[in-house]
Structure 1
């Protein structure tokens, strides 16, 4: 039979084939029922196989229209009742032969495929075609698929009755294929629903574990470790400018954040991607800025939001395999818990910082009972019965901003040590409490003075100014109000005269006493602060000081008067300097000591 229209077939001839058609259809349905529900291509393979057997052909493929509009099929070879898959094939929607079959809804038989210009030469060569049969699977006015059949590399002839038989069988199967497609879609939907339920259940479990960890008081590292263990992927906390801050691997091992692969690219492309995320896309997958020793794969970035402000990013790193939907959703959920934890820790730090600042303020102004202040200080691991000094750093503005204060504290940390960063702001700058040596007298140790002196060159460029002032050393909470009052007087004196070095009550005491006109009370305090440490340490130091002053600073004459060796006098003078900060080898020190002794001698009862 040629390539023309199918001749009319007598009704009795066609009816005679129906038992075979019904039997073939029944066999296909029974095999499907026996094997149970499965993928749609398994059903179409059974349909093609039965039609092959019905027409005594060897190859078949049932093409169904895909979502892209093209037709797709798996090609099978049928031999001795066994189907063997031999490849896959796609026929584009614009293929002229398919378009004709779909338009006419009639079978098309090509007896001489090699010489038919409508068949691509590549298809003929690939499959060794000699003849070809196209059978539409019609459901009402709709063609749901097209069955291709051929006799492999043999030439065959098909009668008009055979073509009508094929059409009858294909029409019966069209409804079954349609129903099988619906069943397959329903099964896929049910599977998707089950998967979604499992996903939501696991997400709920992960959420409960993360929230429970936060409520139990876990720190950020603990929460990141828990998430890494739950997902089996390394997790990294990034700052708002995408610099790695903290990272852990499953099991809790720290990540070396300086290794290649952990720093994110910071550019306009990533910025736009983060800014233009859809509402239903709370995270994005990005590649690291560099490859190598860090990790393989991308990094899922989930923004950390608190009070509608971006405070950082949570990163979950891919390993050998891409992140699963569960890992993506879990990371997005975890970002909320971690942001909340960061906000809580920030508020706690602010509250603790305010409490420390309040403690120092109460200490400086003497507004609380000293014993109560001592107990409060212990809450911050601070013992007020150990020696401390106050450092005042001046600011031209009424009060330093948070950023300005943070810069200063970060700069002071390596100079004075973290223990020195208990601070409070004043109208003229900032006051810090700094530990002093255990054997310190009232004058700050020279080591503290030298360390503070090293800051003088940097402060003006950052908006801070001179003078810097150190108080006398305090050993008890009750001493701080007087020390702070003197410190403010020193700062005022230094600013009045434009002094740019480190000032102390001792090296400015006499001039402040004269210029401020402090009266007897301040004069007595000036003398007491200089001489009292000597009486407490060793009464011989007081007598040595008086003899040294009486002998106009001559060591030999002083030694002769006290009947001791000259080296003993030198030792005592050095100890006086360490206890009071008063250097008796220069005129200023001699003058301060002379005035202090004279004030003491004028007291009643002397």
Structure 2
């Protein structure tokens, strides 16, 4: 091969422009500009056998970054470069005029070296840009989620920031929180798993998956039913069960507990749903509720009871403190009351739940009536006893002393 620049040796550059445009069409309209000086490099290699310089390959890597930033897929970018190489090879003036097989072989080897180096460098640049974009998007997503859950940010600014993530802040949303049993060393796998299954079921609009304070956070669209409508409860349970089923497949973090806030409309509804989910998770831990999925609507009664803690402490003291005088203390009788209320006031069902005889159950109920002065079978007394029993559970009494009021 003769030395010199292939750019000059190939004569008129119009044919290179045609090759670039045809390669762009082959790749589905990928911008021609992403080829940069790739075609002259190939032509130069075919004529002179010159390998690309480091600066020339770095320029190709930069083009790979530009492709990623413009949203061109990696496959399309590689297709552009391979198609350009194929079309250039078919139209190289050197080959069209040459009948020397050794010249053709040497040119092919030189061109393939350039293709190999260029495509590898293009892919590396593309991958580096994608990693940067993912990190940037993750930071923006985390900041957006923090502001949405806080609920006190500028509405106009949030609407603009939410738009690239496909969020319509005028819709009804609900927030679910997933708590692992142990701190996860890496949450990427959990986020990816949740995104895959939730996007598949709900679509990728109006859904955000992120982390906050060691919890996985899912912001998802909800049915347009009011928060107190039965459909709202069903939607919350479905989202929670979907999340729990997927997270339970992960090798780390089990057992998971998921809490789901009620659906609410608008920006401030997101913050409200988050607070409900967080409170439900905290309450479930406090009450030792071991259900996989806890809905905020399931724990509303505890929120009401604990909102006025001094009154609740007074109720537990006045109604249930006498049970401490029973042989064995208050705990067996409190368990009896809880089972009795859970079974709808049916003593035989409560006895089965506690694995005791009906006679034992009846004796305990009589003992409760004698000690407290409240009859569990009387509708008026039952309400007082049940409220006090729920309050005792929320206050962890008698395992812990009642708070001083």
TM-score (normalised: structure 2): 0.51
Matched, 1:449 2:300: no
- Over residues 65-92 of structure 1, what are the superposed CA-to-partner deviations in whole Å (9 max), with x where a residue is unaligned? xxxxxxxxxxxxxxxxxxxxxxxxxxxx
Quote the residue 1:344 is aligned against.
129
Matched, 1:425 2:211: yes
For the 8 Å contact 1:389–1:474, the answer to whether it is kept is yes
Quote the residue 1:383 is aligned against.
168
Task: Give 1:512 shift.
Answer: 3.0
Task: Give 1:473 shift.
Answer: 1.3
Q: 1:503/1:361 Cα in 2 relative to 1: closer, same or farther (>3 Å)?
A: same
Q: Distance in 2 between matches of 1:464 and 1:199?
A: 62
What SS does the aligned partner of 2:264 have?
coil
Matched, 1:368 2:159: no
2:259 to 459, 463, 469: 469
1:510 to 294, 298, 301: 301
After TM superposition, list the pairs within 5 Å mapping 1:477-488 onto structure 2.
477-488=267-278
For the 8 Å contact 1:469–1:503, the answer to whether it is kept is yes
Question: Of the two structures, which has the highest relative contact order with CA contacts closer than 8 Å and spacing of 6 or more?
Answer: 2
Task: Give 1:450 shift.
Answer: 2.6
Q: 1:519/1:419 Cα in 2 relative to 1: closer, same or farther (>3 Å)?
A: farther
TM-score (normalised: structure 1): 0.35
Q: Distance in 1 between matches of 2:239 and 2:209?
A: 18
Task: Give 1:413 shift.
Answer: 3.6
Task: Give 1:361 shift.
Answer: 0.9
- Over residues 490-532 of structure 1, what are the superposed CA-to-partner deviations in whole Å (9 max), with x where a residue is unaligned? 0012223233143222221012321454699xxxxxxxxxxxx
Task: Give 1:422 shift.
Answer: 0.9
Quote the residue 1:198 is aligned against.
47
For the 8 Å contact 1:387–1:435, the answer to whether it is kept is yes
Q: 1:392/1:442 Cα in 2 relative to 1: closer, same or farther (>3 Å)?
A: farther
Task: Give 1:436 shift.
Answer: 1.4
Quote the residue 2:85 is aligned against.
231
Quote the residue 1:410 is aligned against.
196
Q: 1:336/1:437 Cα in 2 relative to 1: closer, same or farther (>3 Å)?
A: same
Quote the residue 1:492 is aligned against.
282
Quote the residue 2:220 is aligned against.
434
What SS does the aligned partner of 1:379 have?
helix
- Over residues 155-192 of structure 1, what are the superposed CA-to-partner deviations in whole Å (9 max), with x where a residue is unaligned? xxxxxxxxxxxxxxxxxxxxxxxxxxxxxxxxx7879x
What SS does the aligned partner of 1:337 have?
helix
Q: 1:218/1:232 Cα in 2 relative to 1: closer, same or farther (>3 Å)?
A: farther
2:116 to 323, 327, 331: 331
Q: 1:337/1:451 Cα in 2 relative to 1: closer, same or farther (>3 Å)?
A: same
Task: Give 1:226 shift.
Answer: 1.3
1:222 to 62, 76, 81: 76
What is the alpha-carbon root mean square deviation over aligned residues?
Answer: 4.1
For the 8 Å contact 2:227–2:263, the answer to whether it is kept is yes
After TM superposition, list the pairs within 5 Å mapping 1:110-125 onto structure 2.
none
For the 8 Å contact 1:466–1:500, the answer to whether it is kept is no
- Over residues 320-339 of structure 1, what are the superposed CA-to-partner deviations in whole Å (9 max), with x where a residue is unaligned? xx963312322212211221
User: Any stretches of 5+ residues in structure 2 without a counterpart?
Assistant: 10-43, 91-106, 312-378, 388-405
Q: 1:506/1:386 Cα in 2 relative to 1: closer, same or farther (>3 Å)?
A: same
For the 8 Å contact 1:415–1:451, the answer to whether it is kept is no
Quote the residue 2:39 is aligned against.
none
Q: Distance in 2 between matches of 1:505 and 1:385?
A: 22
- Over residues 537-596 of structure 1, what are the superposed CA-to-partner deviations in whole Å (9 max), with x where a residue is unaligned? xxxxxxxxxxxxxxxxxxxxxxxxxxxxxxxxxxxxxxxxxxxxxxxxxx9xxx9xxx9x
Task: Give 1:384 shift.
Answer: 0.7
Task: Give 1:431 shift.
Answer: 1.0
For the 8 Å contact 1:399–1:427, the answer to whether it is kept is no
For the 8 Å contact 1:392–1:469, the answer to whether it is kept is yes
Q: Which stretch shifts more, 416-425 or 327-336?
A: 416-425
What SS does the aligned partner of 1:232 have?
helix
What SS does the aligned partner of 1:465 have?
coil
Please identify the structure whose Cα radius of gyration is greater: 1
Task: Give 1:212 shift.
Answer: 5.0
